[in-house]
Amino acid sequence: MTISITINGKKYKAKKHQSILTVLKENKIYVPALCYHPDLCVKSNCRLCVVSIKGRDGLYTSCSTKVEDGMDVTTESPEILRTIRTNLELIFAQHKEECADCIYRYNCELLKMAKKYEININRFKDRKNGIKKYSLGDVLVMDPNKCINCGNCVEVCHKQKVDFWQKKEINAK
């Protein structure tokens, strides 16, 4: 079923049950979405893909919010910008930057976002530093100091029936 929604003042067609993020991507409207992956479950952990919806209070993560007929979505506002910038700076705070030696240097989603949103990637001191690295053979190294806790590797590992990475129950009592 086709429905009609408004994004930043312009009308677009969408299918019922699609997420706002899917519709934005289909129409090449950019919102930062770090933990989103088309093959994986929607986790909405990173809290970057936020939009506002006319008539509703607060902000909504576009990856986890379904479109509705007549919905009026805004992707850019001072409120949204402030949110993205702060959350992005917080994400950088848990990622130890060693960009000069990094193979993703020219293709780093985080750095692209940092540039676009003009954030200070060192606003906070790195939280993770000196955590033990894991070498899985010669080809794969897991460096938790660079992990941004999106949870995607844990899901892939589970879906491949490996279950080597698992989320730890931190408050188990």
Partner 1 sequence: MTAFIEKLKKSGLKGRGGSGFPTFEKWQTVLTTKAEQKYLVCNGAEGEPGVKKDHYILANYPEVVIEGLKIGLETFEKSKAIIYLKSNYYREFGGKLKELIGDLPIGLFEKKGGYLAGEETTIVSILEGGLAEPKGKPPYPCKAGINGCPTLVNNVETWYHIAKIDKGEYKKSRFFTIGGEVKNPGVWERDEKYPINKLLKETDNYPDFDFFVQSGGEISGEILLPSELKQTARGQGAIIVYNREETDGWELMQKWINFFHQENCDKCTPCREGVYRIKEMFDKKIFDQKVLKDIFYVLDKTSFCSLGKVVSIPIKSFYQKIGL
Site residues for partner 1 per CB under 8 A: 42-48, 50, 58-59, 61, 64, 66, 79, 82-83, 86-87, 90-91, 93-94, 123-124, 127, 149, 151, 167, 169-173
CA distance 157 to 28: 30
- b vs e for 8-41, b when ≥16 Cβ sit within 10 Å of the residue's Cβ? eeeebebeeebbbbbbbbeeebebbbbbbeeeee
Nearer to partner 1, 7 or 84 (CB): 84
CB of 61 to partner 1, least distance (A): 8
CB of 145 to partner 1, least distance (A): 15
CB of 83 to partner 1, least distance (A): 6
The answer for residues whose C-beta is within 8 angstroms of residue 127's C-beta and 6 or more apart is 93, 94
- At position 33, the amino acid (one-letter code) is A
CA distance 79 to 102: 33
CB of 139 to partner 1, least distance (A): 29
CA distance 48 to 38: 16
Nearer to partner 1, 136 or 170 (CB): 170
Nearer to partner 1, 100 or 162 (CB): 162
Nearer to partner 1, 66 or 105 (CB): 66
